[in-house]
Amino acid sequence: PIPQLPTSSEQGRPHSPATTPPPPWRQLLHYVRPYRWVLLAGALLALLTSATGLALPLVARGLVNDLGHDRSITTPLLVMSVLVLANAGLGGVGSYLLKRTAESVVLGARRALTSYLLRLRISAVDRSEPGDLMARVTSDTTLLRSVTTDTLIGLGTGGLTMIATLVLMGVVDSALLAVTLAVIVCTGMVIWVIMPQVKKTIRRAQDSVGVMGASLERVLGSLRTIKASGAEHREEQAVHAAAHEAWRHSVDSAKWSALAGNMAGLSMQIAFITVLAAGGARVATGAIDIGTLVAFLMYVFYLMSPVQQVIAAATGYQTGTAAIARIQEAQALPAEPEAEPAPLPAPDAEPAALAFEEVCFRYAGELPYVHRAVSFTIPGRGLTAFVGPSGAGKTTVFSLIERFYEPTAGRIVLDGRELMRWEIPTLRAAIGYVEQDAPVLSGSLRGNLLLGNPDASDEELCKVLKTTRLDGLVAGLPQGLDTLVGHRGTKLSGGERQRVAIARALLRRPRLLLLDEATSQLDAVNEAALRDTVADVARTTTVLVVAHRLSTVTTADRIVVMDAGRVRAVGSHRELVAADLLYAELAATQFLTALN
Ligand code: ADP
Ligand code: MG
């Protein structure tokens, strides 16, 4: 199965204009544009190289005709040596410049694509395979390398050289030119038939590279689970099957490209034989001299390389269109609008006030509603706890506040302004969010802590380390804050990861702090300490927590009980125990049942 990226934006009400992507050749020119002068220089040198090559037969004609007439051949020989040397020198520099341009094109495409991917809407991320997107950045852009050199140079220099050669052939003998042209036209027709096959097979090959990337990412990202489940063998087979598919389609396209490439050699051999026969007859009748025939045959020989280049241009273009189509598909995914990064709020900024007004939401058009008219008001400052069974929609409340998704109906209002009217970076700068599974990125502890506020001072960092009780952990590590935490923080314990995630959020000095089961994995001592920390923060900040521990919930200023996408009740612990059956039940079991 080929991962089909959705091309329409069904999420994202306001943004992501669905512009139709430019045709592949325009896109290719767009990639090349910034490097056009280097490309032009390279192309000019390549042309000069061809010109020096083309001048050789003319000198050779003189040399051959001089041979029988007892004239000195030193000058023509000298000229020929200079031409050969110039040919090699210019060719080398030109080829370097062209390859350099090609690499720059790959770099440009990679930058553009990664910038776009970083702005992707979470809804788009939900529906894509990271491994496939990765293949589009690494593998598909690489194809642009050969496309740039093969297509543009092939068409440019190859095409021009071919025309120049044909003109010179016409000058030498127009009858023999007609013979050559007939052969070239036949070749062109065969190539025309082959090209769509090249494109189709390349596209399939690249798609299977994407599938392989996706399955590899799945396996390597979950190697512990796979080993624990004894599923290595089955997973291995899945990745191998994907690799085999890529091989099959690549071999298929190699077959068609080889066929096309071979046509240059074949057709020039045919041209050579035909010209030899026709030219021999013309020499016999005295229409042309032997030198002319030799010169013409040399031109046929020289025609080989530009014809090869033009065919490579056609093949390269098909490869390029397949790659560009895959890059454009990724760039058609719904993304957030481009915006400048926003500064973090001042340390003494007012706590945020938040309200949900009849918010309805579902993750996609075909999925059931997760929020059915959710309403609550949080005036600002203080601790609000969200409780309710698993799947009630608590995490979704936080996702909507971060604008990872937009409500299907209803309004979310922050500080009296509808969320939709906030610039996304400004909005997120105001929020500290600890996600449910406390994600930690690979890299150092310091990098993780400063992720949301790289400018935090050492004092701030020290203070936060103390309040999140990470100071002991850091002191015990030989490399301290520079300790690497491994992929997704696997070198930390669950509770340590949670404390790192909380510290990261606190360092942003948020006006709105969202903690989604952020202390669920802490031991009793650390949990109690962090409860105090959170209570402290809540004195000056609006804090929302999803929690299952009674101890956390009872101290909250306000409790929102959610069930099946609705708010059942809002109140204090005392009020709710008396008024809400579900809450009373949860409280009675001390929130100890597995509810996350
Ligand atoms: P809670 O945090 O209260 O346990 P969530 O807000 O995480 O519940 O999830 C509510 C419902 O939404 C669940 O039924 C879940 O399956 C669904 N859901 C959560 N995230 C997604 C998503 N990214 N795409 C589709 N459905 C989702
Ligand atoms: Mg949740």
ipTM score of the complex? Answer: 0.99
Position 595 pLDDT exceeds 50: no
30 C-beta neighbours (distance < 10 Å), count: 14
- Choosing among 3.90.1150.10, 3.40.50.300, 3.40.50.1820, 3.30.70.250, the CATH entry for 438-507 is 3.40.50.300
- Could you tell me what percent of the chain has a pLDDT over 90? 63
Q: Report the residue among 363, 398, 566 best suited for mutation to probe ligand 1: largest number of ligand atoms under 8 A from its CB.
A: 363
393 Cα: distance to centroid of ligand 2 (angstroms): 7
Q: What is the pLDDT, as a whole number, of residue 480? A: 92
Instruction: Take atom 22 of ligand 1 and give the residue whose Cα is closest.
Output: 363
CB atoms within 10 A of CB 523: 11
Which ligand 1 atom is the nearest neighbour of the CA of 436?
2
Q: What would the mean pLDDT of 80-107 be, rounded to a whole number?
A: 89
Question: Is the pLDDT confidence value at 13 over 60?
Answer: no
Q: Closest ligand 1 atom to the C-alpha of 122? A: 23
For ligand 1, atom 12: residue with the closest CA: 370
Whose atoms come closest to the Cα of 563: which ligand? 1
Q: Is the pLDDT of residue 6 over 50?
A: no
- pLDDT average, residue stretch 345-350: 86
Is 392 touching ligand 1 by the criterion CB < 6 Å? yes
Ligand 1 atom 21, closest CA: 363
Ligand nearest to the CA of 394: 1
Gap from CA of 366 to ligand 1 centroid (Å): 14
Predicted pLDDT of residue 442: 93
pLDDT averaged over every residue in the chain: 89
Regarding the beta carbon of 396 and ligand 1, being less than 6 Å apart is answered yes
Closest residue by Cα to atom 27, ligand 1, is: 363
Residue of 120, 356, 370 to test ligand 1 pocket, by largest number of atoms within 8 Å of CB: 370
- The atom number, within ligand 1, closest to the CA of 364 reads 25
Q: What is 24-330's CATH superfamily?
A: ABC transporter type 1, transmembrane domain (1.20.1560.10)
Choose one of 125, 372, 395 to mutate for the ligand 1 pocket test, by most ligand atoms within 8 angstroms of C-beta.
Answer: 395
Separation of CA 417 and ligand 1 centre (Å): 26
**pLDDT value of residue 60:** 82
pLDDT at 44: 86
pLDDT in tens, 458-515: 999 999 999 999 999 999 999 999 999 988 888 999 999 999 999 999 999 999 999 9
Ligand 1 close to Cβ of residue 393 (< 6 A): yes
In this structure, of 142-156, 302-316, 559-573, the range with the lowest mean pLDDT score is 142-156
Whether residue 5 contacts residue 329, with contact meaning beta carbons closer than 8 Å, is answered with yes
pLDDT at 365 over 50: yes
Predicted confidence (pLDDT) at residue 550 exceeds the cutoff of 90? no
Expressed in angstroms and rounded, the spacing between residue 349 Cα and the centre of ligand 2 is 29
The mean pLDDT value for 405-433 works out to: 95
**pLDDT above 70 for 14:** no
Residue 559: what residue type?
I
**Confidence band (pLDDT; 50, 70, 90) for 10?**
very low
Q: Which amino acid is at 221?
A: G
Please report, for residues 206, 256, 460, 463, the alpha-carbon distance to residue 508 in angstroms, rounded to integers and kept in the order given: 42, 57, 10, 13
Contact (CB, 8 A) for 496 and 441: no
State mean pLDDT over 431-448.
93
Q: Which long-range contacts (CB under 8 A, 24 or more apart) does 258-265 make?
A: 259/194, 260/191, 260/194, 260/195, 260/198, 260/311, 260/314, 260/315, 261/308, 261/311, 261/312, 261/315, 263/187, 263/190, 263/191, 263/194, 263/311, 264/187, 264/304, 264/307, 264/308, 264/311, 265/304, 265/308
pLDDT at 403 over 90: yes
Cβ–ligand 1 contact at 35 (below 6 Å)? no
The pLDDT score that the predictor gives to residue 51 is 83
Residues with CB in 5 Å of ion ligand 2: 395, 436
Q: Which tens digits make up the pLDDT trace of 109-154?
A: 999 999 999 999 999 999 999 999 999 999 999 999 888 877 877 7
* Confidence check: pLDDT of 342 > 50: yes
- C-beta 363 within 6 A of ligand 1: yes
Q: What are the boundaries of each domain within the chain?
A: 24-330, 438-507
The Å distance, Cα 519 to ligand 2 centre, comes to 13
Q: Answer whether residue 8 shows pLDDT above 90.
A: no
Q: Contact, 422 vs 414, CB < 8 A?
A: yes
Residue 389 Cβ contacting ligand 1 at under 6 Å: no
Order across the sheet with 566-571: list the strands: 431-434, 512-516, 542-546, 382-387, 558-563, 566-571
CA–CA dist 420, 112 (Å, integer): 26
